[in-house]
Amino acid sequence: MRSRCMSMALGSICNFLSRPSYVANMHHRNTVLSRQISMEAQSVAARLNSSGFLRTLGLIGGKWIEAYDGKTMTVHNPATGDVVANIPCMGGRETNDAIGSAYNAFRTWSKLTAAERSKCLRKWYDLIISHKEELGQLITLEQGKPLKEAIGEVSYGASFIEFFAEEAKRIYGDIIPSPLADRRLFVLKQPVGVVGVITPWNFPLAMITRKVGPALACGCTVVIKPSELTPLTALAAAELSIQAGIPPGAVNVVMGNASEIGDALLASPQVRKITFTGSTAVGKKLMAGAAGTVKKVSLELGGNAPCIIFDDADLEVALKGTLATKFRNSGQTCVCANRVIVQEGIYEKFANAFSHAVQNLKVGDGFGEGVAQGPLINDAAVHKVDSFVQDAISKGAKVLLGGKRHSLGTTFYEPTVLTDVKNEMLISREEVFGPVAPLLRFKTEEEAIHIANDTNAGLAAYIFTTNVQRSWRVSEALDYGIVGVNEGLISTEVAPFGGFKQSGLGREGSKYGMDEYLELKYVCLGNIS
């Protein structure tokens, strides 16, 4: 009888939800909400434009320029689909001129003392911090992340400029004891030269400052190619670099035809290094292309981060850490937990508690009050996420929460939790880059390590355990460049960031990040006696 009553109640609810009047009311509600979102974003864009903070031209040799052929492209707000700005669609010719400008500026910038370069970087840092509200608004406009998170990115991005302003004064060489009495041997560290900087859309400021900060500190000059999806933050940061006294030509920004710009950077013998953050597939092409002129290359590529939660983990700590690392920036980070691997003793308990926490995440436009998750970057990203979810479902995974586009429309996707996920599913093999948490089950420590390492990626991994001995064992056994133990947010300017295997080459941030932009020169002085 109770089952029948429940069935009747559910039937009544379904009938109500399918009524034309209800559907029309929900459509009207979402339309009104979309209109409010659009108006707020347009108001922010108008304020930034009137203040001169919204730059929409490329920067070559200290001059703001259009594309030579006059072509333009549009930057869209992913939350609304509205056009934020039109920008030049540049190509090979503009890039070659930017390279020439950087090459000429290198002759003078590299000859400045480390202290002088440090002062310019410090001024740049101060300007970024004093404009963090505007920069945060710009990031939310073109990238979509919540405003609080965007302003956090500005502080994080600025920290690299501050750190490397200090490190500029600590580029030390060595004196080597000579085996011969009449000789003196020493080692100098000198800037590599012009650097091609290619950055992604998910962190439009931090991915630039993490590369440009050490490059400038070492005495290099740069040609930046930001993502065509999020160039406005890069242009605003470049404007602030000019105001900081960094000389014309030291920082150049070109955007538009990615293949033409990339080809020009790779072909030029004046560009001595490429630094790139993005997909592994593009990274491989850049690495191959750099061989023609034997450039230095540093690559921060894709991830497939495991988040291992052992039976003995503090559940509250594990929930907080997993939530932070999985849903930051709507899951659109290279160090997001891509696989949540939970020991069988607490699997059900964790799944239920985690789903409850995820359910409380507020989804909406980044300018909305209390919003924790914004939109995905574009429709292609939504299609990819949904295809991964559908593949998992077709192979036996269960949707505990979400699993579809959000009712807000455009590129919003529901925060999603999947259970009964297997290692052979697409979502376990490749980076989903979206707000989907697949939960895998394991029995033993050895099995967890095997599952975690069973991938070509090796960027970041996470462990939650209260067993100190286990934390050491598993940290050392994981084939990853970064391991967070009982912590989901691991990025900092003072620690090396980079991966093993096909997650890249080299390190960014910390004192080790300076070495990527320096050449070692050995000098032998003879006939001293």
Catalytic (active-site) positions = 300
**Amino acid sitting at position 395:** K
Alpha helices (H) in 341-378, listed in sequence order: 347-359
Question: How far is it, in rounded angstroms, from Cα 243 to Cα 252?
Answer: 14
What residues form DSSP beta bridges with 186? 175, 523
> What is the biggest distance separating any 2 CA atoms in the chain, rounded to whole angstroms?
107
Question: How far is it, in rounded angstroms, from Cα 135 to Cα 232?
Answer: 9
Which one, of 19, 55, 475, 515, lies nearest residue 296 by Cα? 515
Nearest 5°: the CA angle 196, 198, 202 is: 160
Q: Report the 10 Å Cβ neighbour count for 304.
A: 27
Question: How far is it, in rounded angstroms, from Cα 67 to Cα 206?
Answer: 26
Buried b (16+ CB within 10 A) or exposed e, 69-102: eeeebebbbbbbebebbebbbbbbebbbbbbbbb
Phi, psi of 24 (to 5 degrees): -65, -40
Alpha helices (H) in 180-226, listed in sequence order: 206-218
Burial class (CB within 10 angstroms; exposed 0-12, middle 13-18, buried 19+) of 360: exposed
Which one, of 110, 102, 67, lies nearest residue 252 by Cα? 102
What residues form DSSP beta bridges with 276? 198, 299
The label of the residue with tokens 């700590």 reads 317
Instruction: List Cβ neighbours of 422 (8 Å cut-off, separation of 6 or more).
Output: 395, 396, 397, 428, 440
Phi, psi of 296 (to 5 degrees): -70, 145
Inter-CA distances, 291 with 215, 222, 279, 284, 298, Å: 21, 20, 19, 11, 13
DSSP labels, 464-515: E-S-HHHHHHHHHHS--SEEEES-S----TTS-B--SGGGEES-BSTGGGGG
Q: Two tokens at 219?
A: 């005495």
Inter-CA distances, 281 with 227, 276, 293, 300, Å: 16, 12, 20, 12
